[in-house]
Amino acid sequence: MPPRSPFTPSRAVQGSDASYEEPTFPSPGMPSPVGYSEIYDPDLKAQVDLECEAPKEVQVVPIDSAAFLNLNTNATTRGDAQAYVELNELLGSTWQQTARWAGYEENLNTGTGQWSPSHVSYLTFKSLIQLRKVMSTGAVILDLNASNLSTVAEKVVDGLLDKNEIRPSERDNLLRALLMRRSQSAGPVVTASGDIEMQMFSVSKKRDGADNIEGSVVLSGVLDSLEKPVVAFVRLTDSMVMESVLESSVPVRFFFILVGPGESGIDYSESGRAMGALMADWVFCLEAYLAETEKDLTNAIADFMDCSIVIPPTEIQDQGMLQPIISFQKKMLQDRLRPSDTRLAFGDRVKVEKAPEPPREDPLARTGVPFGGMINDIKRRYRHYISDYTDAANPQVLAAIIFIYFAALSPAITFGGLLADKTEKMMGVSELMVSTSIQGVIFCLIAAQPVLVIGFSGPLLVFEEAFYAFCKSQGLEYIVGRIWVGMWLIVIVFIIVAVEGSFLVRFISRFTQEIFSILISLIFIYETFNKLIKIFKTHPLILNYDHLNATADNPFHPVMKEHVEVHPDGNVTIREMEVERAYPNTALLSMCLMFGCFFIAFFLRKFKNGQFLPGWLRRLIGDFGVPIAIFFMIAVDINIDDAYTQKLVVPKGIQVTDPKVRGWFINPMGEKKPFPVWMMAASCVPALLVFILIFLESQITTLIVSKPERKMMKGSGFHFDLLLLVTMGGISSIFGVPWLSAATVRSVTHANALTVMSKGPKPEIEKVLEQRISGIFVAILVGASIFMEPILKMIPMTALFGIFLYMGITSLSGVQMWDRMLLLITPKKYHPSDAYATLVSTMRMHLFTLIQLICLAVLWFVKMSNFSLALPFVLILTVPLRMALTGRVFTVKEMKCLDADDAKVTFEEEPDEDVYNESPLP
């Protein structure tokens, strides 16, 4: 069998879980790992290294002048600091230093106690794969404020315990192991000026110098007291000189810890060397220095692997056979420089003349011409109108249609049922489905951004409930009043679009969005339990109930009573009123259906980002979590036929929810009685309030979908789409159907479903299939679903309230204000590494949160009072409040940290990431 090449594969494929055979040789100059059976002669290995080594000489790596380092990007300088790395392996009860890096690698021969000559690191493919895999599950602590190793060790152990990576019984053993004594050899010579003297390859050119030296400590080894391997990565806020941590007085910036049982299948020695090589690489070191999340670190490892070279396990006859590899590597390193990435360019390192890119057209820029913004929207988009249909010839569009259909149908059924409950069946499922279908088709045919999905939303439901309560208290016809609100909506939107008022969305910051988002979530949660309490009051848990006729077709038939109304003019109106009576087991079954629907939908959402099943199947199940939960509760309810539950009211065919009280056309002058003239004029006030809601959600949704990172090339339509959406809503009021807005979650999901990703270890977005066909077909299918009346009428209302609870609770995730509210009762040592928690003092952060909580309390008071109709107006007052806080109560820097628009676009959902977090409103 031919000898194996000493050059080992080091390139990996992202996300690969393939297993690889153990390497047939150990690390240079290092002791064999536990269980390693091959006989290893360190003296012979050192001799081989000397024979393969290029001519070398002792070089000094200065901190204040150019560094004699290798020309590739495996250099030791990050641009602001020179990297020095030490690897310590756990041997018995001692941490033994076995390798060190200052650009190149030196290994300790444990037999002779001598350091090997400097050489380029060669790593095993398996070690990089294992390293990247364990990094995705370990504890990552960024910007830790610590000045000694014991503090770092305690934070690491607590972090692993919080993530359930170790058991409580393992905590003390792990902490004791991390603090074991260190056996260090003679360190590198550090000159009086602070320079590190090591044996380096001589090169003919110099690289930029670094202002200072920062060290990285890698701790790796076998600890059999642990149940499984654990990993931790720590970045200190400030580099600190720690006694007995490094062999020289070099300030430490990074710690990496990898320990675990010997039978875990991980080669701790090789994985430790792999991490040491990574920390010595200036590009990875820079990414680690700038990393904000765990994902940034795993991406940096993938980038390192992308620029590494795989050498097949074939025999290398002579060194000349390696010459082509050098040329190939130089080309890869030139590509790695990425001149456009300003973070990687320091001083004269990158000098690439590149023509400046033309500035992107700002769709919110004001032209000063009436309707100028709308005209630009039309010019920008309509030149692509033909391609909006030809680009739909892609199988991915068909998949998006099927997926978005269910994503749009579920909220239409849920909100339709809740709307019927809030408005006493004046509007319901049928009206909402018809409105969603017809307006959706029209919108997709002529809108400037057809990727948006329009539909009903939580804020509009809150307004409809408040407006219905107002009309009922004033003795006004709610369905007629909506017509005049709709007419005023058209007037308002024409004025706003004429003066290019869409630019006002720039002033609606996270401060306002998050307050409103949490308010809607709390309303959802409150209404769910309020409804459940009403069910328990209507169907109390008592010993005896009215006798039911089991032989009747419907033993739970409603009790109808006549209600006589005498009007001042002498007219008498007789109405049949449904009187609910108490039924046994109804309350308990309703509670089980509600919580069951909630927990199934919530579990499937978490399952989507879990680890079981293939990713595509897991995401498929998670995306259809809501309809799965509803259908499951239908099956449960059907099988319990001896208990009564309230069902969704759905008429047969295309009929209104309650044909006895209204039709498809509403008389603007009044249905049952004349509508007051004063209210026709006063309707401008509620019209302004509902316009605020539609403006908020639609414009913010357009901002999210049209972010430059999504690479949409055909433009957006802030002005024209707002005009189209509100005008359709105003006209639809005549037919008594709900107003609609751009639905954030559904629109973001639609855009993601149409996104084409590149292949490879680090997929990047290539394009978005911007077309109109998917939206048109989804709207048609939603409208056709009204004929599913036999299925829809079997849905228990309490199951829909479970979805209501699901929307309220899940909408809290990803809201920074909610995270900061939890920090009010969280010890400081557990605060996240986000800018709002690290760059702003804790008391100032809590003050900002308390101000938002006061605003939330005021909005809740308005919602629960008789002035609930004024809720959107009070909400808008938070915009000038936020502007007043800047510079007076909080500095500009603090506001940037606390109120920055730092929501990240998510193209492909990964573990622990959720596209729903992009939604500012539920």
User: 715: phi > 0 → left, psi -120 to 50 → alpha, else beta; which?
Assistant: left
Query: Residue 561 burial by CB count (10 A; 0-12/13-18/19+): exposed, middle or buried?
Result: exposed
| Section 817-833 average pLDDT | 88
Lowest mean per-residue pLDDT among 206-215, 431-440, 628-637, 713-722: 206-215
CA 227 to chain centre: 31
Two tokens, residue 677: 């003239």
Task: Report the range out of 73-82, 127-136, 311-320, 913-922 with the highest average pLDDT.
Answer: 127-136
Q: Using the Cα atoms of residue 177, residue 88, residue 281 and residue 63 in order, give the sign of their dihedral.
A: positive
Q: How far apart are CA 207 and CA 67, in angstroms?
A: 6
Predicted pLDDT of residue 559: 58
Task: Report the range out of 65-79, 83-97, 756-770 with the highest average pLDDT.
Answer: 83-97
| CA dist list (Å): 279 to 77, 127, 276, 906 | 11, 15, 5, 28
Task: Determine the angle formed by the axes of helices 395-422 and 744-753, rounding to 10 degrees.
Answer: 170
Two tokens, residue 40: 């290893």
Q: How far apart are CA 641 and CA 585, in angstroms?
A: 11
Lowest mean per-residue pLDDT among 497-511, 754-768, 811-825, 867-881: 754-768
Task: Determine the angle formed by the axes of helices 268-280 and 294-306, rounding to 10 degrees.
Answer: 90
pLDDT tens, position by position, 230-289:
999 999 888 888 877 777 778 888 999 999 988 888 888 888 888 888 888 878 888 888
Q: How far apart are CA 350 and CA 337, in angstroms?
A: 8
Q: How far apart are CA 856 and CA 158, in angstroms?
A: 34
Predicted pLDDT of residue 645: 85
| Section 629-653 average pLDDT | 83
* DSSP bridge pairs for 114: 109
Side-chain-side CA neighbours of 702 within 13 Å: the count stands at: 27
Collect all residues with Cβ–Cβ distance below 8 Å to 98 and sequence separation of at least 6.
Answer: 27, 29, 30, 31, 87, 88, 89, 107, 108, 110, 269, 272
Lowest mean per-residue pLDDT among 348-357, 383-392, 449-458, 844-853: 348-357
Closest of 183, 264, 182, 253 to residue 231, by C-alpha: 264
Predicted pLDDT of residue 336: 62
Predicted pLDDT of residue 61: 38
Instruction: Provide the pairing of β-strand 213-222 with 82-91.
Output: parallel
Predicted pLDDT of residue 726: 93
Amino acid at 378: I
- Using the predicted structure, report yes or no on whether residue 190 has a pLDDT greater than 60: no
Contact 142, 198 (CB under 8 A): no
Contact 67, 76 (CB under 8 A): yes
Lowest mean per-residue pLDDT among 43-47, 385-389, 648-652: 43-47
DSSP class of 97: E
Two tokens, residue 145: 């404020």
pLDDT tens, position by position, 393-435:
888 888 788 777 877 887 788 788 888 888 888 888 888 889 9
Collect all residues with Cβ–Cβ distance below 8 Å to 575 and sequence separation of at least 6.
Answer: 562, 563, 565
- Using the predicted structure, report yes or no on whether residue 10 has a pLDDT greater than 60: no
HEC per residue, 530-565:
HHHHHHHHHCCCCCCCCCCCCCCCCCCCCEEEEEEE
Lowest mean per-residue pLDDT among 62-66, 754-758, 870-874, 894-898: 62-66
- Using the predicted structure, report yes or no on whether residue 462 has a pLDDT greater than 80: yes
> Who wins on pLDDT, 771 or 201?
771
Closest of 570, 620, 572, 631 to residue 596, by C-alpha: 631
Contact 372, 500 (CB under 8 A): yes
Cα dihedral: 274, 279, 285, 289 (round 10): 110
User: 19: phi > 0 → left, psi -120 to 50 → alpha, else beta; which?
Assistant: beta
| CA dist list (Å): 462 to 423, 861, 864, 872 | 11, 14, 11, 10
Confidence band, pLDDT 50/70/90 cuts, at residue 215: confident
Predicted pLDDT of residue 596: 92
Contact 97, 184 (CB under 8 A): yes
Q: How far apart are CA 631 and CA 635, in angstroms?
A: 6
CA 25-27-33 angle, to 5 degrees, is: 80
Amino acid at 315: E
In the chain, the largest separation of any two C-alpha atoms, in whole Å, equals 115
Confidence band, pLDDT 50/70/90 cuts, at residue 358: low
Q: How far apart are CA 761 and CA 12, in angstroms?
A: 8
| Section 89-111 average pLDDT | 84
Contact 766, 756 (CB under 8 A): yes
Confidence band, pLDDT 50/70/90 cuts, at residue 629: confident
Name the average pLDDT for the chain: 76
- Using the predicted structure, report yes or no on whether residue 74 has a pLDDT greater than 60: no
| Section 107-113 average pLDDT | 81
Q: Which residue has the tokens 């033909």?
A: 386
pLDDT tens, position by position, 709-739:
777 888 888 899 999 999 999 999 999 899 9
Two tokens, residue 574: 């007789």
Two tokens, residue 656: 């209104």
Predicted pLDDT of residue 595: 93
Q: How far apart are CA 396 and CA 391, in angstroms?
A: 11
Termini Cα distance of the chain: 65
pLDDT tens, position by position, 587-617:
899 899 999 989 998 888 788 777 788 877 8
Task: Determine the angle formed by the axes of helices 684-705 and 744-753, rounding to 10 degrees.
Answer: 30
Q: Is 37 helix (H, G, I), strand (E, B) or coil?
A: coil
Task: Report the range out of 108-112, 200-204, 328-332 with the highest average pLDDT.
Answer: 108-112
Query: Residue 714 burial by CB count (10 A; 0-12/13-18/19+): exposed, middle or buried?
Result: buried
| Section 784-811 average pLDDT | 81
Predicted pLDDT of residue 802: 86
Q: How far apart are CA 882 and CA 901, in angstroms?
A: 14
Confidence band, pLDDT 50/70/90 cuts, at residue 360: low
Predicted pLDDT of residue 854: 94
Confidence band, pLDDT 50/70/90 cuts, at residue 489: very high
Q: How far apart are CA 405 and CA 408, in angstroms?
A: 5
Two tokens, residue 778: 């989804």
Predicted pLDDT of residue 334: 66
pLDDT tens, position by position, 507-566:
888 888 888 878 878 887 888 888 888 888 888 887 776 666 555 545 555 656 666 766
Q: How far apart are CA 73 and CA 303, in angstroms?
A: 12
Predicted pLDDT of residue 128: 84
Q: In 405-494, where do the E strands start and end?
A: 454-455
| CA dist list (Å): 289 to 72, 280, 762, 914 | 20, 13, 20, 26
How many Cβ atoms from other residues are within 10 Å of residue 869's Cβ?
20
Contact 159, 232 (CB under 8 A): yes
- In the chain, pLDDT over 70 holds for what percent of residues? 78
Q: Is 784 helix (H, G, I), strand (E, B) or coil?
A: helix
| Section 120-135 average pLDDT | 83
- Using the predicted structure, report yes or no on whether residue 67 has a pLDDT greater than 70: no
Over the range 517-551, which residues count as b (16 or more CB within 10 Å of their CB) and which as e?
bbbbbbbbbebbeebbeebeeebeeeeeeeeeeee
| Section 379-397 average pLDDT | 87
Predicted pLDDT of residue 908: 41
Collect all residues with Cβ–Cβ distance below 8 Å to 475 and sequence separation of at least 6.
Answer: none
Q: How far apart are CA 474 and CA 67, in angstroms?
A: 82
